[in-house]
Amino acid sequence: MTVTRRNLLRWGAAAAGAVTASGLLAGCGGAERRPVPPLSPGQDPWRRFAGTTINFISENTAPTAAIAANLQPFTELTGITVRIVNLELSALVQRVALDMASGTSQYQVIYADPYQVLAPYSAGLADLREFIEDPSYPVLEGGLEDFIPTQLRAAGSFEQEGPVYALPYDCPTMIWQYRADLFAAHGARMADDLGFDPTPGPDRTWDEYRRIAAWFTDNVDEVRYGTGHQAKQHDSLMCDFSNVLWSYGGDYFDAGEQVGLLGVRDPGRCTLDSAEAIEAARFYDELLAVAHPASRTWDWDGVGAALRAGEIAMCPNWHEFAASNEEAFPGAMGYAPLPSGPTGSANMYGGCGIGITANASGAERGAAWLFVNWATSRGTQLDNLRSSAGGGTPTRGSVYELPEVVRAEQRPSELPNMLAGPAVRAAWEPDRIGLRPKIPMWNACDTAVFTGLSQMIAGQQDPETTMRGTARRVDQIVARGWHA
Amino acid sequence: MTAPALAPGTRDDSARAPAAPGGARAALHGRSTGSRVAVAVVLAATLLWTLVPLVWMVLGSFKSQADVTSAVPRLVFAPTFENYRNLFTGANDLTPYLWHSVVAAVVSALLSVVVGTLAGYGLSRSVMRHKDRLSFWIISTRMAPIAAVILPLFLMFRVAGLIDTLPGLVLAYMTFNLPFAIWLMSAFFSEVPPSIEESALVAGCTRWQAFRHVILPLSKAGLVTTFVLCLVFSWNDYAFATVFAGPDSQTLPIAASQLVTQTGIDWGQLTAIGTIVVLPMVVAGLAVRRWLVTGLTLGAVTGE
Amino acid sequence: MTAAEPTARAGRRRGLTFPGLLLTPGVALLAVLSVLPFLALVAMSLSRVRLLGGVRLEWVGLDNWVRVLTDVDMWWSWVRTGAYLVLTLGIEMVLGLAVALALHRVLRGRGILLSLVLLPMFVAPVIVGLLGRYLTDSTFGLYAWFLQQLGWEGDVLGSPGTAFAAVVLMDVWEWTPLITLIALAGLTSVNPSLLEAAALDGAGYWAGLRHVVLPSISGILLVALLIRAMDAVRYYDIISVTTNGGPADATKTIPIRLFENAFRFFDLGYAAAIGLMMLLLTIAIARAFVRLLGTRGIS
């Protein structure tokens, strides 16, 4: 019984701690921050924090899979141990917010989704200029200028130019992914039946996309359905719909582009009840009616798996799936910017940066920067491209110019993710890239949007009611403001 | 494990062949072929409904990537240990998760049983004025919705530095295990006639000695049942772990939900984790099957 | 052992009796783990909770309560939660009783059969949910494949109706065994001579069941119902890993909405108000449970 008694006492102490704690519930500040230990003379700046352990919390995305599979170069370079926690996006957002709220820094390096982490919690992220401008750290090779400018602003800043909260780490962008083998085999017959050239690209309209999809479903045995969508009641449904929304001339708010690029605290009135937005919803509803019925249960992973399983002939999805597509159907996948609506082609940008929690302190704070610097460096991005674990594509312009990378855009490709390169670069043209609103209350707005859409595609309400209701909900959420 | 003083009703006798007189059985069990067929059909359907998912999970854990997601279900396949091997090697080694799960579940069950046994005995023998209200308060804490409890607990744990620690997880599990243990042990102790302690006291024992050396040994079945059920509840927890666990305290259910990754869900590994999570609890649970009814109804049903 | 006991609460005027002394540590610990959170929950429901840079509560009066009570979406979630409770509990009671009656007729091998039937109860709910997804996946799910062979082309978790049915059935799969177990204990405890009077065979079966068997185990069945009701309000794991509220909000029950508001939108004050409403509901069920025990003279 003695062991038990000791436990009892220990737990009694923990309980007593909890009592005291709850007394302090109101008005307790964050933990005190220790200074970063200085660089001693003659020391290699990369080895400065050897022996430190840091945690990196990331969405389970391609670049993190590649880095997790090959952390050795960083450990050898710096002597720092990095533990990676890989989570599904909504779980990640929850953990990050809780960590910041707790005033501690369980996770020093944070995968800062611009919409779900950066905008609501920019006050909890360190301004990276603190490290970039400090000469005692290794220099940021290529500088900030090397990052693709739109991505640096979309993934790294909030509200104003200047502070850099995150460095662009991945850049998934939604493009048209299709079975080129099926288009080659059936293209001529399809052209005869449909009366237009079905070759995928921004010259196709969304309506033609829908007709191609229906044609595949009716006429081709290799796949069960023509198109599949990430239309689960989830963030992914908002992403999938946004492409259509923008290409029909609709948007979430009036100053759409500004709200998307830098982000604002008060975006003004929601414009989802505009005639263009309602028209877009009407089309999306028709599109989903011909799509694989399981679309309503798929997020991006689900629709990616379906394409690889030969369930569908084409889908809009993040370009980072190219490498795994190539494994499933070597040589058979094709990529193009998404079809156009009345006002052109829009391709949702879903890139994220990695940043450092403002609560990080001491050697961990410095070590976190070394990791951020290394993980977004030219060499690491090239290694990610080569990784057998998938790897994503670079966020630095200079990497795309390397001869090895340019070569990989053609088959046989050593870096299969680059097969989507030409399509994705076309999608990044300023008039084609789609940026969703970067506002702090986006999580709640996003939920209102995809919930409404989910009800629409389930046949519970018509497009007009859906868009009007969603606009009203978004206005209410925005009116409440954001209090982090 | 024989407990002569334990009222026969505290055991679930239903599992044994009833010793009722033949006439009653004849009436209750029916003899016509029709009713026998009906019973067989009901039971066969029940077994299918119950076992197919579990069997399919265990089979899946021994299938290759291609077999586990083949469009046409495969009953015959070349078994592989690949999934289990992958779980314990590579970047996401399952060993720490397993360890966290074991520690958090065992420690919280143990502490709950110890504290709950004392309090349960106290509750069953106490003659205080507001005993009813106290009992009610205890049971209502057990039934409080997890989602409602997590919020304030998170803020408290955060101040106490218990987030992402095993003690924090153990304490969180005690929010539902402790009231359960108090209530259940109290029910088990109520079955022990007070005359037993009285005779121990007459024989010269102190009250503590009477409890420790006479009553406790009589309640072994209750202790074991309470421990096992607390173990199952905390081992299977997902809601608390999603909020309170971090890199230093992730548990198996969290590991399972994390296998949902961008390159698709690895169903082979997922079914393997499922098997690992389920197997020990099934063994532990069935080991106390005779007392399960009492345990799971918090002592309300004793089989009498 | 007594050395570890004395705490602040031990200072009653007349001193503690021996049972009171044993009761103290457990009650004290439980108080920390339940009374404090409860008070914090009340305070939060009256505040705006700010997180960054340390937790702060800003008094907003009844704002959160007004929002909870006037939000139409919220009321739909209550309706859905009600439907979920009625369906899961109803199906579980009927199936559980049927299986118990069948098992009760088995004379040899009942132990083994019962053990097999009980298995789902020990499966972690999160595994039940993931397994449910695996079985109903329209590409490779075993059950989806059967449905396709029967000519049904849809996707189980893709339509509001079937998705709702699926999460209900997953709960039914896991918890019907509990009802079976309890009902079987009840049947075994029924006085055999009572049953003798009722000819439980052939045409007389249903009458006997209704007039003799059910009345004599109704108390026990009610206990089972209440226990399940309290747990069904608590649990959210299965829905969280399968549909997480979708499609079209069809499975967005109150616990899911609470988690969403708390840990996705970090609208903690609003979430606290929802939490307190849930608490009221379970306390009402718990009261009924305890009353029932009181009348049966067990507690």
> What's the pLDDT score for residue A387?
84
Round to whole Å and give the CA distance between A100 and B184. Answer: 40
Q: Give A306-340 as a 3 state SS string.
A: HHHCCCEEEEEEEHHHHHHHHHHCCCCEEEECCCE
- The chain-wide mean pLDDT, for chain A, equals 89
> What's the pLDDT score for residue C195?
66
> What's the pLDDT score for residue C201?
55
Domain CATH number, residue C168 = 1.10.3720.10
Structural domain harbouring C120: 71-266
Cβ–Cβ gap C245/A15 under 8 Å = no
* Token output for B88: 């314990």
**Residue B90, Ramachandran bin (φ over 0: left; ψ between -120 and 50: alpha; else beta):** left
Go through A275-291 and write b for each residue having 16 or more CB atoms within 10 A of its CB, e for each that does not. Answer: ebbbbbbbbbbebbebb
Neighbouring residues of A355: CB distance < 8 A, sequence distance ≥ 6:
A109, A110, A112, A118, A125, A126, A128, A165, A166, A167, A372
pLDDT at A288 over 60: yes
In the three-class reduction of DSSP (H, G, I as helix; E, B as strand; rest coil), residue A268 is classed as coil
pLDDT in tens, B64-76: 988 888 888 888 8
> What's the pLDDT score for residue C103?
92
Q: Where are the beta strands (DSSP E) in B135-270?
A: 260-261, 264-265
Q: How confident is the model at residue A256 (pLDDT cuts 50, 70, 90)?
A: low
> What's the pLDDT score for residue C172?
96
Neighbouring residues of A308: CB distance < 8 A, sequence distance ≥ 6:
A324, A325, A327, A328, A329, B264
Long-range CB contacts (within 8 A, 24+) of B84-93: B84/B272, B86/B268, B86/B269, B87/B269, B87/B272, B87/B273, B87/B276, B91/A68, B91/A69, B91/A84, B92/A86, B92/B255, B92/B258
Residue B16 CB neighbour total at 10 angstroms: 12
- Residue C191 within a domain: yes
- Residue C2 within a domain: no
pLDDT at C95 over 70: yes
* Total residue length of chain C: 299
Cα–Cα distance list, A65 to A79, A96, C219 (Å): 21, 19, 56
> What's the pLDDT score for residue B3?
32
> What's the pLDDT score for residue B9?
37
Name the range with the highest mean pLDDT among A37-41, C53-57, C254-258, C281-285: C254-258
Round to whole Å and give the CA distance between A109 and A66. Answer: 17
Instruction: Check: CB of residue B154 under 8 Å from CB of residue B163.
Output: yes
Q: How confident is the model at residue A28 (pLDDT cuts 50, 70, 90)?
A: very low
pLDDT at C85 over 50: yes
**Touching subunits for chain B (3+ Cβ pairs under 8 A):** A, C
> What's the pLDDT score for residue C8?
39
Question: Domain locations in chain A?
Answer: 13-171+350-401, 174-348+434-480
Considering only CB atoms, C230 lies closest to which of B128, B134, B143, namely B143
- The chain-wide mean pLDDT, for chain C, equals 85
pLDDT at B8 over 70: no
Q: Would A13-171+350-401 and A174-348+434-480 be classified into the same CATH topology?
A: yes
- Give the count of Cβ contacts less than 8 A between chain B and C: 359
Q: Which of residues 110-139 of A touch C (CB under 8 A)?
A: 120-121, 123-124
> What's the pLDDT score for residue B84?
92
The reply to whether B64 touches chain C by the CB within 8 Å rule is no
B83-302 topology per CATH? MetI-like fold (1.10.3720)
Q: Give percent of chain B with pLDDT exceeding 90.
A: 40
pLDDT at A7 over 50: no
Contacts C113 to B, Cβ<8 Å: 43, 47
Q: Mean pLDDT across the stretch A130-157?
A: 93
Contacts A94 to C, Cβ<8 Å: 263-264
* Token output for A117: 């982490």
* Pairing of the two strands A225-227 and A312-318: parallel
**Touching subunits for chain A (3+ Cβ pairs under 8 A):** B, C
Instruction: Quote the minimal CA–CA distance from C256 to chain A in Å.
Output: 13
The reply to whether A3 touches chain B by the CB within 8 Å rule is no
Q: Give C186-249 as a 3 state SS string.
A: HHHHCCHHHHHHCCCCCCHHHHHHHHHHHHHHHHHHHHHHHHHHHHHHHCCHHHHHHCCCCCCC
Q: Give percent of chain A with pLDDT exceeding 90.
A: 73
Considering only CB atoms, C139 lies closest to which of A5, A309, A454, namely A309
- Residue C34 within a domain: no
- Look up the ipTM and state it: 0.86
Q: Where are the beta strands (DSSP E) in chain C?
A: 47-50, 56-59
**Residue C159, Ramachandran bin (φ over 0: left; ψ between -120 and 50: alpha; else beta):** beta
Taking CA–CA distances from A172, the nearest residue in chain B reads: B262
Q: Mean pLDDT across the stretch C49-59?
A: 81
A174-348+434-480 topology per CATH? D-Maltodextrin-Binding Protein; domain 2 (3.40.190)
Contacts B110 to A, Cβ<8 Å: 4, 7
> What's the pLDDT score for residue B1?
30
pLDDT in tens, B11-64: 444 444 444 444 434 444 555 777 788 889 999 999 999 999 999 999 999 999
- The chain-wide mean pLDDT, for chain B, equals 83
Q: How confident is the model at residue C198 (pLDDT cuts 50, 70, 90)?
A: low
pLDDT in tens, C205-238: 777 788 888 888 888 888 888 888 888 887 788 9
> What's the pLDDT score for residue B143?
79
Of A267-271, B42-46, B145-149, the poorest mean pLDDT is in: B145-149
The reply to whether B280 touches chain A by the CB within 8 Å rule is no
Instruction: Quote the minimal CA–CA distance from A81 to chain B in Å.
Output: 13
pLDDT at C22 over 60: yes
From the candidate CATH numbers 3.30.565.10, 3.40.50.1240, 3.40.50.2300, 3.40.190.10, the one assigned to the domain spanning A13-171+350-401 = 3.40.190.10
Go through A166-194 and write b for each residue having 16 or more CB atoms within 10 A of its CB, e for each that does not. Answer: bbbbbbbbbbbbbbbebbeebeeebeeee
Beta bridge partners of A352: A170
pLDDT at A186 over 60: yes
pLDDT at A27 over 70: no
Which of C85, C123, C169, C266 should one mutate to test binding to chain B, selecting the residue with the greatest count of B CBs within 10 A? Answer: C123
Q: Mean pLDDT across the stretch A103-120?
A: 90
Q: Mean pLDDT across the stretch A112-127?
A: 93
Contacts A101 to C, Cβ<8 Å: 51-52, 55, 266
Q: How confident is the model at residue A26 (pLDDT cuts 50, 70, 90)?
A: very low
Cβ–Cβ gap C249/A451 under 8 Å = yes
Query: What is the biggest distance separating any 2 CA atoms in chain B, rounded to whole angstroms?
Result: 74
> What's the pLDDT score for residue C136?
93
- Residue C113 within a domain: yes
Nearest Cα residue to B154 out of A417, C36, A34? C36
Q: Mean pLDDT across the stretch A188-212?
A: 96
Cβ–Cβ gap B148/C104 under 8 Å = no
Q: Mean pLDDT across the stretch A391-420?
A: 91
Q: Which of residues 309-338 of A touch C (CB under 8 A)?
A: 309, 311
Q: Mean pLDDT across the stretch A316-329?
A: 92
> What's the pLDDT score for residue B70?
84
- Residue C295 within a domain: no
- Quote the number of domains for chain C: 1
Indicate the helix (H) or strand (E) that contains B130. none
* Pairing of the two strands A109-112 and A53-59: parallel
pLDDT in tens, C145-169: 999 999 988 889 989 999 999 999 9
Q: Which of residues 328-387 of A touch B (CB under 8 A)?
A: none
Nearest Cα residue to B211 out of B230, B185, B231, B181? B185
Q: Which of residues 82-101 of B touch A (CB under 8 A)?
A: 91-92
pTM summary value: 0.86
The reply to whether B279 touches chain C by the CB within 8 Å rule is no
Considering only CB atoms, B264 lies closest to which of A21, A62, A301, namely A301
> What's the pLDDT score for residue A16?
42
Cβ–Cβ gap B16/C142 under 8 Å = no
Q: Mean pLDDT across the stretch A201-217?
A: 96
pLDDT at A300 over 80: yes
